[in-house]
Amino acid sequence: MARDVTSAHTNADAQLHSGKIRLVGVLYTSSGGALAHIKLYDGTSAAGVMRLELDTTKQGVVTWNIPEGGLLFANGLYCDIGGASSFTALLKD
């Protein structure tokens, strides 16, 4: 049986999920010009292990799907939004 995908959204550095979760996609906005440097950590803060780093200078909305069941965050998901305007994580348990 397929599991539903949920989402978590933020406009600032934040813990997006506590506990084990898989990241299956991202959507973020950038005003362009300045580098949007997003870091995603396995844990409840930026002290966790960085599992994914995303950069863009493109203005507008950027989407990215993660293949093969997603990227596992065993201890929660924390987002350092960097220079992005907003960030949405698509999650599957």
Digit-coded pLDDT (tens) for 30-83:
876 667 789 999 999 999 999 999 887 777 888 889 988 899 999 999 999 988
CA-wise closest residue to 59 among 88, 35, 23:
35
In this predicted structure, what is the pLDDT of residue 3? 67
Is residue 53 helix, strand or coil?
strand
In this predicted structure, what is the pLDDT of residue 61? 84
Q: Is the pLDDT of residue 24 over 50?
A: yes
Say which residue, 91 or 63, is predicted with more confidence. Answer: 91
Instruction: Tell me the two tokens of residue 61.
Output: 């909305």
Q: Are 81 and 12 in contact (CB under 8 A)?
A: yes
In this predicted structure, what is the pLDDT of residue 32? 64
In this predicted structure, what is the pLDDT of residue 59? 77
Say whether pTM exceeds 0.85: yes
- In this structure, which amino acid lies at residue 69? G
User: What is the C-alpha to C-alpha distance for residues 23 and 72, in angstroms, rounded to an integer?
Assistant: 6
